[in-house]
Structure 1
Amino acid sequence: MASPAVVEISRWQFAVTAVFHMSFPALTVGLSVFLAVMYTVHPRTGNPLYLQIFRFEVDGQFRASDWWHVLFNPAFSYRYPHILLAVLISASWFIGGIAAWYLVKQRAPPFARRTLSIALGVLAILMPVQLYVGDSTAAFMGEHQPAKLQAFEGNWKTDNNGYNLLVVPNTDKGRNEFQVAIPHLGAVIGKDLSGKANVPGLLQTPKDERPNMWSAFYGFRLMYFSALVMFGMAFAGLVLRLRGRLYTARRFYRLMVWMTPAGVLAVSGGWITAETGRQPWVVYGLIRTGDAVSHLSLGAAIAGLTGFVTVYALLLGIWPGRLRHRDDEAQVEEELQRGGADRG
């Protein structure tokens, strides 16, 4: 057992991490509510002091005129459930993968079976819902952010009814140097069951408003294909459960172990698509990224990005080791408990 000093330091470490993690969102959300109240009170009271409080920064900044519409914009009803489902699914895959690993190693079978059963039950319900919500979100974005859809479909000209599996875009020339597609599937996914409708191409968007096709296309493929594989695995788990073979399917357990990071990969691909696909806009159609970015040197921007990547890479590298260490401790505890039971 750890010493009291180590326990106390560990508590402080958790507390400090939680403070920083929660303080900044709380401050930003709290400030936005405060500013919204000040902006609302001003016309009701006619007191210019409230407007002065709201405009505490220099004039010329881009300000919201209706905070209700900012928070609950038309994309909210699509993006919020899509993201909420994504994080629940990611957690379920992580839990299911750990339970499958325990079953592969034949460790704590009752615990592992119950955990795997719960995780697969949640996935069997959420995965079909997520595919529907995701499709609805893509359709909405195609209507309101057409350049994003054009980029992640991977077409330049509107002359392809297929679904692109692989593209090598040439951004300067506005064409693909290499392309692999399944004929007619793009039209079918776009709700044209005849398979004849062409998928919109990125040349429809002015050159200075086009997102990067590389990141949007492959970010979307990472999300979409991960989701399809997760749906297939969840369906297979449901079939195994109905056939009474869920707790004897060792090959399925090994696949589940490999699928542990699938949810995180899908979420990462989704955010890459969302953030790079809306470029060059920060607020779509209103503020360009070039107008909103801080006035930093190239070296400072690279240093900031490198710092973020380094810190998170270190955390990602340390975390699995910590989990493995905790697992070793649990195994020792199990052996001690079995030894005590045998002596009893």
Structure 2
Amino acid sequence: MPVNFSAIDLARFQFAFTVSFHIIFPALSIGLASFLAVLEGAWLKTKNPIYKDMFMFWSKVFAVGFGMGVVSGVVMSYQFGTNWGGFSNYAGPVTGPLLAYEVLTAFFLEAGFLGVMLFGWHRVGPKAHFGATLMVAIGTLISTFWILASNSWMQTPQGYAIVGGKIVPQDWFKIVFNPSFPYRLGHMAMAAFIAGAFVVAATGAWHLLKGRRDPAIRKSLSMALWILLILTPIQAFVGDAHGLNTRKYQPAKIAAIEGIWDTEQGAALNLFGIPDMDAEITKYRISVPHLGSLILTHEWNGEIRGLKSFPKADRPNSTLIFWTFRVMAGLGMLMILMSLVGLALRKGGKLYESRWFQRWVLFMGPAGFVALLAGWITTEAGRQPWVVYGVMRTVDAASPNSAQAVGISLMIFMIVYFLVFGTGIYYILKLIRTGPAFPETPDERKSHQWGDDGHGDPAQTARRPLSGSSESIESH
């Protein structure tokens, strides 16, 4: 039986598809930029060449990820005009300036110092170069600030008035620092750090399993596991605070996430189930009594509103976000467990010899990105049917395009994205497979440290971030 999709269904899927590709690269860039700053700072303080070796390697991966992120971000922004003209016309006075601030304060900062970071080893002094690396890292965080401010305002809007059929800003402080912004900013920033740390850890584990035991490989795994040991428990606490905030401002989203249909006091936590939107029940439930209220309200008999207390037209798709949330939360708990096991092995002196643990770390390499995507789907699908929560419905935000036109553009996007960004991901994996260089002799180390690998070569004039990696995609 053929399935007929409307223009708005296809437009939503197109935006979800392009954003899903896009979010991977900025998350990698945010995580690696701060990691690079730590590596260069450690090298400046200790003069240990291992940190420089690691910086040289991970700056190549960062350069490719940054370039991919810029391209995919430009494409994503075009859709506001092509597929979501109603949203741009209605909410543009708020979202437009916020995105412009991101370009003016963050992207220009990143782009301005990126060339110095990647190619400035011979052109500026060590401290100036470290300053450039810090500016790139700070730029990625400022970019996160403005993007999350815009998206969080769509989740919990305030500081506006509706004048002449459009949203008009009234208080920019309230717009930027809306109720969900601090929690979502912290949650997203740490998710990016964790995703980057898992990539570094998995790279170290891969090379250890392949027999490399040089200091840069061991240090990569060690540093990444320390980062994960610190951040993963903190992320759980931030996520808990975010959940309390969501229950206050978006109670329908919480009910859909938990698959709760009737308002309950002392609500159970549904570990497993299949929410049925038509029958208004969660089938095959496996629940723990009172645990839902304890987690979501921090009270044994706290009240959780059920989905039935909301009009059907205002209910998110519980069948979808019930499971995307559990993927995110389940991976989060597995991350914490892995970090604790790594600490135990470190204390026992078996971290670099335990092959089963290294296989586990390698398997968990993509976990940060999977959890991030699952969390993003939970957040955005849980906001539906609103594009600006409680203010503008998604059906009113779409441009008057035909399903055929949107479908054709969607197919083109899918083909081009898998070719272009699939190649970019393939190249990053090629770089990771190579790993950090480990010069054996003093002459080799001198050559490597001062730019003969393409970083900072005085004869080279770089014009794009991808020049940060000199390896051929067909090599190795």
Calculate the TM-score normalised by the size of structure 1. 0.76
Alignment equivalent of 2:216, drawn from 111, 131, 134? 111
Matches within 5 A, 1:1-344: 20=71, 29=98, 31=100, 60-159=165-264, 161-192=267-298, 194=300, 196-197=301-302, 199-315=304-420, 317-319=422-424, 321-323=426-428, 325-326=430-431
- Over residues 299-328 of structure 1, what are the superposed CA-to-partner deviations in whole Å (9 max), with x where a residue is unaligned? 333334444444444456434543454466
Which structure carries more relative contact order (alpha carbon 8 Å, separation 6+)? 2
Counterpart residue identity of residue 279, structure 2: K
Identify if the C-alpha distance between structure 1 residues 122 and 176 changes in structure 2 by more than 3 Å, giving closer, same or farther: same
**Percent of pairs identical after alignment?**
35
Counterpart residue identity of residue 285, structure 1: G
Q: Please give the root-mean-square deviation of Cα atoms over the aligned residues, in Å.
A: 3.3
- Over residues 170-228 of structure 1, what are the superposed CA-to-partner deviations in whole Å (9 max), with x where a residue is unaligned? 2123222332223333233235564x556432112121111111222111111111111
Calculate the TM-score normalised by the size of structure 2. 0.56
Instruction: Give the 3-state SS of the residue equivalent to 2:316 in structure 1.
Output: coil
Identify if the C-alpha distance between structure 1 residues 15 and 188 changes in structure 2 by more than 3 Å, giving closer, same or farther: closer
- How far apart in 1 are the matches of 2:244 and 2:337? 23
- How far apart in 2 are the matches of 1:193 and 1:17? 45
Q: Contact between 2:207 and 2:435, CA under 8 Å: does it hold in 1?
A: no
Identify if the C-alpha distance between structure 1 residues 295 and 192 changes in structure 2 by more than 3 Å, giving closer, same or farther: same
Q: Contact between 1:162 and 1:185, CA under 8 Å: does it hold in 2?
A: yes
Counterpart residue identity of residue 282, structure 2: N
- How far apart in 2 are the matches of 1:271 and 1:78? 14
Query: Post-superposition shift, 1:248?
Result: 1.5
- How far apart in 1 are the matches of 2:66 and 2:312? 49
| Segment drifting more, 315-324 vs 111-120 | 315-324
- Over residues 247-296 of structure 1, what are the superposed CA-to-partner deviations in whole Å (9 max), with x where a residue is unaligned? 22111000000000110011001100110001111111111111112222
Q: Contact between 1:155 and 1:201, CA under 8 Å: does it hold in 2?
A: yes
- How far apart in 2 are the matches of 1:328 and 1:237? 22
Gaps of 5+ in 1: 1-12, 35-57
Instruction: Give the 3-state SS of the residue equivalent to 1:190 in structure 2.
Output: helix
Identify if the C-alpha distance between structure 1 residues 74 and 237 changes in structure 2 by more than 3 Å, giving closer, same or farther: same
- How far apart in 2 are the matches of 1:297 and 1:135? 42
Q: Contact between 1:102 and 1:109, CA under 8 Å: does it hold in 2?
A: no
Q: Contact between 1:156 and 1:201, CA under 8 Å: does it hold in 2?
A: yes
Gaps of 5+ in 2: 1-63, 78-95, 104-162, 445-476
